[in-house]
Amino acid sequence: MEEKKLNLTLKIWRQAAPDAAGGFQEYKVYVSPDSSFLEMLDELNNELESQNLDPIAFESDCREGICGTCGLVINGHPHGPIPKIATCQLHMRHFKDGDTIWVEPFRAKAFPVIKDLMVDRSAFDRIMEAGGFISVNTGSVPDGNAIPIPKDIASEAMDSASCIGCGACVAACKNASAMLFVSAKVSQFALLPQGQPERYRRVQAMVKKMDELGFGACSNTYACEAECPKGISIKNIARMNREFIKAKVKTEEIDV
């Protein structure tokens, strides 16, 4: 059966360089509803290149929603209007013939635009370097069940760890706050025995780094949770607040 293709108007943010002025440019595309959003951009780029025009710069890697590389703000939603998926999992069947689609990069001071729709998210790496790890001695593989962990705690830690670090929470937040990301990372360690030795130092160091990098504070609008492709819960933010306050009150170390 012949598929019904869609006529769409794309308004895409084009910006030649980090400091260059950007603006929206209009493109008309004729696209299969089975095509993914990124495939549509690939096709458009092929066409631009065949006309010797500069292709639209955007990021992607795994294209199956687990790497966190892709991330576009589509009609005002990070990763598009369908909940709990990444941009790469968004298909054109969710749009109607004749639609106009606005595509913007993530906007945050801490995520400067590199080109077009690509932003520099290395601020997240700086936060992880500040404390998003556990220090372990190298050696042979530890015994499987040496550290017992209750199933529900393990599940909760896994839920937190399912954060792919895409930055949609920052993009969605009216304050460009990174609290959902940071709290997910704090939580995945705070919940497990392996995370205990550095528990309080970690939360303080990561929050401090997050503040230094120019992310905003949390207004508890919960937009982050609504837009997160992995459905990370705002309970993580509550946990981080708890951990942070506890760390400040309980621990003796003062310069973290």
d(CA 55, CA 42): 9
- Binding part of the chain for other proteins, among 27-35, 50-58, 62-70, 233-241 by CB under 8 A, reads 233-241
With binding defined as CB under 8 A, does residue 216 bind other proteins?
yes
108 binding other proteins? (CB under 8 A): yes
CB 210 to other proteins: min, Å? 7
Give the CA distances from residue 254 to residues 200, 205, 206, 222, 250, in Å, rounded to whole numbers and listed in that order.
11, 11, 15, 31, 11
Which positions from 158 to 197 touch other proteins by CB under 8 A, shown as an x/- string?
Answer: --------------x-xxxx-x------------------
Q: Is 119 in the site for other proteins (CB under 8 A)?
A: no
Residues near 148 by beta carbon (within 8 Å), at least 6 away in sequence = none
Residue-by-residue DSSP string for 45-108: HHHHHHTTPPPPP---SSSSSSS-----EETTEET-SSTT--GGG-BGGGS-TT-EEEEE---B
Task: CB nearer to other proteins: give 73 or 166.
Answer: 73
- Count of chain residues binding other proteins (CB under 8 A): 49
Contacts to other proteins from residues 19-48, by CB under 8 A: 24
Out of 81, 99, 194, 201, point to the residue binding other proteins (CB under 8 A): 81
Residue 254 lies near other proteins (rule: CB under 8 A): yes
Q: Which of 45, 73, 147, 160 forms a contact with other proteins (CB under 8 A)?
A: 73
Give the residue ranges of DSSP H helices in 195-234: 199-212, 223-227
Q: Least separation, in Å, of the C-beta of 205 and other proteins?
A: 11
102 near other proteins (CB under 8 A): yes
The binder of other proteins chosen from 217, 229, 231, 250 (CB under 8 A): 217
Question: 3-state DSSP call for residue 172?
Answer: helix
CB of 227 vs other proteins, minimal distance in Å: 6
Beta partners for residue 7, in sequence order:
30
Give Cβ neighbours of residue 105 (< 8 Å, ≥ 6 apart): 13, 15, 72, 73, 113, 116, 117, 118, 119
Note whether 151 binds other proteins by CB under 8 A.
Answer: no
Q: Is residue 183 within 8 Å of 191, Cβ to Cβ?
A: no
3-state secondary structure at position 117 = coil
Tell me how far, at minimum, the Cβ of 46 lies from other proteins, in Å. Answer: 26
Measured CA to CA, the distance from residue 244 to residue 217 in angstroms comes to 14
Give the binding site for other proteins (CB under 8 A): 11, 13, 24, 73, 75-77, 81, 102, 104, 107-110, 172, 174-177, 179, 207-208, 210-211, 214-223, 226-227, 234-235, 237-245, 248, 254
